[in-house]
Amino acid sequence: MPDSSFSPAAPELLDLLAAHQRLLEDASGGVATVAFLQGLCREVFTLAPNAAVAVVRRDPAGGLLATMAGGLPPGYADRLRGCQPACLNDLHGDPDIAPITAWLAEQGWTLAVERALRGDDGALLGFFCAYARGGDPKALLPVPVIDLAVQHARLALERDALQARVCQLGLVDAQATDRNADRRALQVALGRALSTQGELLLRYQPQLRLADGELYGVEALARWQHPRLGEILPDNFVPLAEACGLIDQIGTWAVREACQQLARWRAAGAKVPSVSVNLSPTQFRNPDLAEQVAAVLSACGLAPSDLTLELTESVYMDPDAESARMIHAVHALGVRLSVDDFGTGYSSLARLRDLPVDELKLDRGFIQGLDHDRMVRALTRAVVGIGASLNLAVVVEGVETEAQRKFLSECGAQAAQGFLYAEPLGAEDLPRWLRQRRGAGVVF
């Protein structure tokens, strides 16, 4: 069904999109031809002349593009090839799709197409209509209507990528509510934070070896120190970064900053074995990721094994071709790979055979009830045993009690992190924490 969360005020458009969604799924198996888009746009703009339409599609090299181009009259695509309407240039450009956008531009319609996820073997679209109640859609609000449409089309595509190989239709009303205006203001502020010294920073949570209590490594956790709102946690600003296309820049910054900090600690005499950094799913679709990581390691004088990259369970479970290739390329450098929050979703043991992985991380939610729930204890013991049999380290997050630590140690887990040991620390606080711990002779 179309996404209606952004527009309770446009029932006619929602009904229109719902009807076309059903038609698309029932009649064409989810593949949108140019004729389908022409008809849909014609009806959308009849109802909302100030609307803007965005389409985000997968498989830009073939599949869907070929299907769409095939719907044009003979010779029309060749005659228009190379034409790029202004709205397309404003949105990163994609000359391969120019024939489609040029056709719609001739009709007085606005279509923006953005290159999306690559390497998928099916035709998958995210489609959104942004509509403004009066006025010029390109002049309205801090974020133009067409940008809103593209933003939500991308999110629709990401959300449904693992569930439905169909075009996702949706609507966003550009008449800003206070909440949406605040969100857009935060998106702008987040973009500025990337270039402002000290707003984005990393905290480091120690990971301790369960066998002897020595330092196993540290996990780098991003924080946003907003000048007015104070510290903002990743759960709040990462969705913003994904929505406005900044998540890859933040991931690149985090890898660089974490590696530089590890080098600084070592230069000052602090013995920190390694640092772990979380990357978003889109980061593993970056064709330059391995090269960028290698360059950072070289510049910092670090060995590849000094860095662990954590990938989410969704990337690990169902990687597209580009992600799988990049996972192998990064691992071939010697960088360690960890599956974050293993066991919280739909993990497949077969993936542990297919993809190069060095470590499994159990989320704090996985061990809730460990002190008193026999089933939780049995599942935890089984996962740790699987890791051991496959020669994979198992690191457990959210350890808060001595009873949890003792049980995990007896099971054979390699390391743990959590408030039992330390909260996430500032870069300058970690060496002090290490000295105090060793001076007190603390061993867990």
Between 368 and 211, whose confidence is greater? 211
What are 299-344's pLDDT values in tens digits? 999 999 999 999 987 777 767 788 889 999 999 999 999 999 886 6
* 350 to 16, 119, 343: CA distances (angstroms): 43, 21, 14
Question: Residue 22 in contact with residue 134, Cβ under 8 Å?
Answer: no
Q: Mind spelling out the 3-state secondary structure of 299-349? A: HHCCCHHHEEEEECHHHHHCCCHHHHHHHHHHHHCCCEEEEEEECCCCCCH
Whole-angstrom distance, CA of residue 322 vs CA of residue 113: 20
Identify the weakest region by mean pLDDT among 62-66, 132-136, 159-163, 190-194: 62-66
Whole-angstrom distance, CA of residue 217 vs CA of residue 337: 14
All structural domains of the chain with their residue ranges? 3-176, 189-439
Q: Is the pLDDT of residue 125 over 90?
A: no
Question: Residue 415 in contact with residue 214, Cβ under 8 Å?
Answer: no
What are 380-439's pLDDT values in tens digits? 999 999 899 989 999 999 999 999 999 999 999 999 999 999 999 999 999 999 999 887
Helix or strand (DSSP H, E) at 204: strand 200-209
Q: How many helices (H) and strands (E) does the chain have?
A: 17, 14
For the domain made up of 189-439, the CATH class stated in words is alpha beta
For the record, the structure tokens of 261 come out as: 């900090």
| pTM of the shown model | 0.62
